Structure 1
């Protein structure tokens, strides 16, 4: 058998922690905001598609189909608006996935390259609110939905699902991938059976219900389009969190295609079902609609599909908690250098769980509408960030970063990177006249009949401005730091080259028996 060489010394951010030494918790992921060592890149490309498919294969996605019919839009127009929105939103989201294998970093750590070591706190605030906000909405959906379907206590449900989501997030990356994979194979056949039942007419609404009596208005169409686009764009801050364990030589087109297909595929399946339920069954609660429709197809299918949908939603809450933890630790590390290990991960995720559970249980179901507006506001805050981040990665630095300098306050990316912050701020300000959120309608949006095109403006302005500001950036001055960073990372891993490939390890000894 082969005697393994001694483990390499832990780097400054490797997270040495007394709790790490306890054998009973070795299954808990040890890394958080650190660079994933090349030797630990055990991710599989084929898992990315099903992972992101299942991430959207849950009741929150279904409820997006309620928006159009609620505004008088027909099912057909709702489906078209959603499909177009998903194509646009997922396009930007999927390109972030390529950063994970190349850099081996959580998404927001990489953003220090555009905003600076402390400047990254600006977009971090938006991403954290989004992660917590989604989990608040999910808690409301599960608590009120299962209470109406099965009569279960909403408070106990909220606490229970929070505990499960926290545990899943604490164990981390690999457990999340496994959970999503199992849920995918359990859920897909049930949703397929429900879809066939709807298409073959086995599911019907009340006798006096009109069969899709909606029509078309540009405002309703654009609201549905924006909601669908924003839904997947909101994943942008944490795509590479779940692709950073892939080998560094993972082909960029393949990872983008895999994530795009998965993330867009399930909403294109569930949103039309949601629109049909809203127009035909008149439902306003996604779990109640699933139960009612499923039981008309096969007795008991509704209950099974409802429970599977809840489990999928809980797994997604774990996803949000995991990335929320990375966001918090990134923010703290930006102010005061951390050596985060398992203890920091457990405490941070548990704290986030307390927050979203308390908020979710203290508000009424009607609050979900107001929170939906808050999440739309967060979309506005994320749009300029994604534009700056993608332009920097693909058109300015072209994937070449001094990874070790992203963890240094005195690194080449500075404390406050004025170009990224300026492009972000200008894009955000120029979006305001085009916004329609809650009671506020910008003057340009008012002139357009309350049609919201703010995210298009944000993408264009921030992206183009950042590219213009970086035209005079001396990238050759960064090359020595990039080369030194690559050498430092390689030196930390004997037997592994900088590209992640293994080299002969002369200190490995073969022993018979």
Structure 2
């Protein structure tokens, strides 16, 4: 490392001092979280991800499995399989946070280069804006009914509230997650009881007819739901103490996310199978009607808005971190002023709100295609990141080099970018959406298996290339790493910054 590189890395730690552990408004962005500011327990990941998944959009995602032709039994089985498989991949990303103390996507610089990471980052930002928009459509409906305004006003009010919470940052995000997990769990139990009083569950479960394409669609819907968390899940575990068990982080994240999403999606399957057009015409209105009218309805509208607030804040916060990561790779930016933070968050809010207002009248079809579209671009990134972190670098990164385009990881890493492109292209023959269907979908009976190809192909190619490249930039076990003290203290063991 050059002398400039050393100075920059020290700045990345010491200039983070405004982000004291006792502060409410977060100051850190893409810099390493010092050990002195680490806090919390792995269990916090359970409450955050449970709250983030007990919400109306997850209900709609589960309903889509039935809306597009699946039966109740095999839709539920497919959703369980997708939530577990996709959730396991997502939780592996979560376990990276305490080890490195970094946001998720800045780690991609170790695979794609300091500037090359901007390629997947562009798509990640699109994801955040899209999820912000889809969440705002449904939350806006709930907010409008709660405040007795129209949907447009509800969407705008909800978007502003989301931006405010995201601007405050990490601590408040976890508080909102804990509150939402408790409140929404109680509401979902209540709604579940009301639903079971209205429908003949035995009749729904008795109408079982296995269809491979519909089973794989259900699996793809829930897997894409989980995999889409991958690009930002470590953002919310990076403040955990470095000594936090990776296994505990993995299991608490997986259990919270898989339980919350499956709970919501099961409810969505039963509602869609029993209500049909009444649910399709007004998803929010029908769900609330299960609970009754008057005060009960108002409380349920509040619960829906609260559940969406949790996940929309995650999308806004993740979008802000991703924008800073992408731009800083070219500008050399290490820290961010409160004004700059507000500007990035405002940009996400404006773009997501505009998309929500434009697409609110064709929500269901657009959202299903959006989920599958996302899956095409994020499974290759996830495969490359996990193979590099766990199998090639073995959980050790040269953190100063992540901020230096002239360092170990370079500005652009052609091999990873080529593998990423191959991973995207390899999925196209197997992809099935309303605007494009690949040539191999019909021979498979209409099944969409693109996400499986998107994980397997780039993971294999990247592993082979990285293992054969003797001059690979990844930090091999035992390789030297430039290390500086955290918070200006005495020089610590080299493993402090590499994650060993």
Q: 1:390 aligns to what?
A: 386
Deviations 1:66-121 (A, max 9, x none): 11221232222221111111111101111001110111111110110000011101
Q: 1:120 aligns to what?
A: 117
State yes or no: 1:12 paired with 2:11.
yes
State yes or no: 1:363 paired with 2:359.
yes
State the TM-score, normalizing by the size of structure 2.
Answer: 0.89
Matches of 2:194 and 2:477 in 1, distance apart?
62
Deviations 1:294-339 (A, max 9, x none): 229xx74443223112111022111100010010001101111113
Matches of 1:394 and 1:291 in 2, distance apart?
44
More moved, 282-291 vs 429-438: 282-291
Over 3 Å counting, the alpha-carbon distance change for 1:14 and 1:325 in structure 2 is farther
Q: 2:98 aligns to what?
A: 101
Any gaps of 5 or more consecutive residues in structure 2?
1-6
State yes or no: 1:404 paired with 2:400.
yes
Any gaps of 5 or more consecutive residues in structure 1?
1-7, 502-513
Matches of 2:206 and 2:146 in 1, distance apart?
25
1:380 to 369, 376, 382: 376
1:312 to 307, 317, 321: 307
8 Å CA contact 1:62, 1:286 repeated in 2: no
More moved, 376-385 vs 386-395: 376-385
Matches of 1:61 and 1:476 in 2, distance apart?
41
State yes or no: 1:239 paired with 2:233.
yes
More moved, 66-75 vs 368-377: 368-377
Q: 1:187 aligns to what?
A: 184
Over 3 Å counting, the alpha-carbon distance change for 1:441 and 1:242 in structure 2 is same
Matches of 1:421 and 1:230 in 2, distance apart?
22
Over 3 Å counting, the alpha-carbon distance change for 1:29 and 1:213 in structure 2 is same
Over 3 Å counting, the alpha-carbon distance change for 1:181 and 1:480 in structure 2 is closer
Q: 1:506 aligns to what?
A: none
Matches of 1:143 and 1:491 in 2, distance apart?
44
Q: 1:250 aligns to what?
A: 244
Over 3 Å counting, the alpha-carbon distance change for 1:74 and 1:473 in structure 2 is same
Q: 1:72 aligns to what?
A: 69
Matches of 1:225 and 1:491 in 2, distance apart?
46
What is the CA distance between 1:413 and its match in structure 2?
A: 0.6
Over 3 Å counting, the alpha-carbon distance change for 1:59 and 1:455 in structure 2 is same
Matches of 1:499 and 1:41 in 2, distance apart?
17
Matches of 1:439 and 1:412 in 2, distance apart?
42
What is the CA distance between 1:36 and its match in structure 2?
A: 0.7
What is the CA distance between 1:252 and its match in structure 2?
A: 1.3
Q: 2:329 aligns to what?
A: 334
Matches of 2:59 and 2:234 in 1, distance apart?
25
Q: 2:32 aligns to what?
A: 35
8 Å CA contact 1:38, 1:496 repeated in 2: no
Q: 2:4 aligns to what?
A: none
Instruction: Give the root-mean-square deviation of aligned CA atoms.
Output: 3.0
8 Å CA contact 2:55, 2:184 repeated in 1: no
8 Å CA contact 1:60, 1:286 repeated in 2: no
Q: 1:435 aligns to what?
A: 431
1:82 to 79, 86, 90: 79
More moved, 406-415 vs 341-350: 341-350
Aligned length: 483
Matches of 1:490 and 1:184 in 2, distance apart?
35
1:158 to 131, 155, 158: 155
More moved, 469-478 vs 209-218: 209-218
What is the CA distance between 1:481 and its match in structure 2?
A: 10
Q: Per the alignment, in what secondary structure is the counterpart of residue 441 of structure 1?
A: coil
Matches of 2:18 and 2:464 in 1, distance apart?
50
State yes or no: 1:131 paired with 2:128.
yes
What is the CA distance between 1:341 and its match in structure 2?
A: 3.0
Q: 1:454 aligns to what?
A: 450
State the TM-score, normalizing by the size of structure 1.
Answer: 0.87
Matches of 1:13 and 1:490 in 2, distance apart?
9
Matches of 1:476 and 1:456 in 2, distance apart?
27
